[in-house]
Structure 1
Amino acid sequence: MDIMLFHSVYGPRPAVRAAAARLEEAGHRVWTPDLFEGRTFETVEEGMAFKEELGRDELLKRAVVAAAPHSGGGLVYLGLSLGASVAQNLALGDEKARGLVLLHGTSDIAEGAGADGLPVQLHVADPDVFEPHDWQTAWYLGMGRAGADVEVHRYPGAGHLYTDPDLPDYDAEAAERTWRTVLAFLDELASADGRD
């Protein structure tokens, strides 16, 4: 599978490269665009301040420019937290998208968005301060109305970015369960259309 992996609000930290390496070891081709032009942050607040300074439109523009050269054959969009929001926006706007994997985050769903049969996985801490249950419910219903085929996987007791071993939220057991589930999902997508 061809995968476009978007980093979190912390920027292109080692966890992003580690995630890409894990996917590549499983036989996938992965791109990890740097939407922050090399900037990394130690706190969510610093990263959010930079994101606000950059602006949502510029962030999405950078993501589209990064994905466009690789999207012709169909991409799986995958994102971590803020990157999940970016991945969701691109996947819902790409009629050739083959799948969407959201780790630690979601995004608003544009009115009239279409995701006819798009396979989607959401992996999220439970509870998650950035993804409260009422938001997740509304998001799930909205994705269903858009036509997506959604699976939600919750990890009780894990912190928000529980897959990043360099952060206090890290939960090795939840991270391992997440990656096993994601890799099985990607294998199913590849088998469904006979491509890898």
Structure 2
Amino acid sequence: MTEIVLFHSVLGLRPGVLETATQWRQAGHVVHVPDLYGGAVFDDYDDAFAWFDGYGGQPELLRRAGEAVAGLPSRVVYAGYSNGVLPAIQLAASRPGALGALLFHGSVPLRAVGAELWPSSVPAQVHEGEHDPFRENDLNDEFAETVSAAGAAYQYFSYPGVTTHLFADSSLPREHHREAAGTMNGRAQRFLAACG
């Protein structure tokens, strides 16, 4: 059994994220899914990013994420969908006791979230669609180099033929890629089992 904190994407706490949490709970894990938007949910990226900027952007997101985990045990896996990788990476790097970082739909360098060092004991796994419109290879490469240089285990999975961003979110029919999402969940489940 592994304890996990799963952060939602820029679109808010959508049903697809809750479905992932349910699957992990059914596998025997304890999963916390904080709502960092206070109930705001979006279907459109432009609307979501406009709201996000007004909400306070990344500093406010990281502040709320820190508050959300303040009362939780230190030995957890931090996971995130898209924009949720920001707090997942920051907390995995800076909050002592992290068991791992599970990052869906991209990653960012530590400098992007105000962190400096990656703990050698914290494995990271990154998942991304091959043709994700938000994909930034240089950012992924920098994160990978930092984790590997620290001596931590690192895995990166690219999903061939996937042209959407949040392909694992089953509540977004135009984005969801069932086969890739199933493969991703299987890999994530093995990662979580190894972290427990």
Q: TM-score, normalised by structure 1?
A: 0.91
Q: CA deviation at 1:81?
A: 0.4
Say whether the 8 Å CA contact 1:163–1:170 is kept in structure 2. yes
Q: TM-score, normalised by structure 2?
A: 0.91
- Structure 2, unmatched stretches of 5+, are none
**Residue 150 of structure 1: aligned partner:** 154
- 1: CA distance between counterparts of 2:150 and 2:70? 23
1:23 aligns with 2:29: no
Write out per-residue CA displacement over residues 22-71 of structure 1, whole angstroms, 9 at most, x where no aligned residue. 00000000111000000001111111112212222111111011111113
Say whether the 8 Å CA contact 2:109–2:142 is kept in structure 1. no
Say whether the 8 Å CA contact 1:119–1:148 is kept in structure 2. yes
Identical pairs, percent:
33
Alignment of 1:87-166 (within 5 A): 87-110=88-111, 112-158=116-162, 159-166=164-171
- 1: CA distance between counterparts of 2:105 and 2:8? 11
- 1: CA distance between counterparts of 2:152 and 2:7? 20
Aligned CA distance change for structure 1 residues 93 and 169 (closer, same or farther; 3 Å): same
**Residue 39 of structure 1: aligned partner:** 40
The one-letter code matched in structure 2 to 1:170 is H
Write out per-residue CA displacement over residues 86-139 of structure 1, whole angstroms, 9 at most, x where no aligned residue. 211111111200011000021231263232231110011112222233332222
**Residue 61 of structure 2: aligned partner:** 59
Say whether the 8 Å CA contact 2:109–2:139 is kept in structure 1. no
Q: CA deviation at 1:147?
A: 4.0
Aligned CA distance change for structure 1 residues 76 and 181 (closer, same or farther; 3 Å): same
Larger mean Cα displacement after TM superposition, 121-130 or 144-153: 144-153
- Structure 1, unmatched stretches of 5+, are 191-196
Q: CA deviation at 1:148?
A: 3.1
Runs of 4+ in 1 over 4 A off after TM superposition: none
RMSD, aligned α-carbons: 1.4
- 2: CA distance between counterparts of 1:101 and 1:119? 9
**Residue 11 of structure 1: aligned partner:** 12
The one-letter code matched in structure 1 to 2:46 is E
Please point out which of 170, 175, 192 is paired with 1:186.
Answer: 192
Residue correspondences, number: 189
1:69 aligns with 2:59: no
- 2: CA distance between counterparts of 1:86 and 1:179? 20
Secondary structure of 2:95's aligned partner: coil
Secondary structure of 1:70's aligned partner: coil
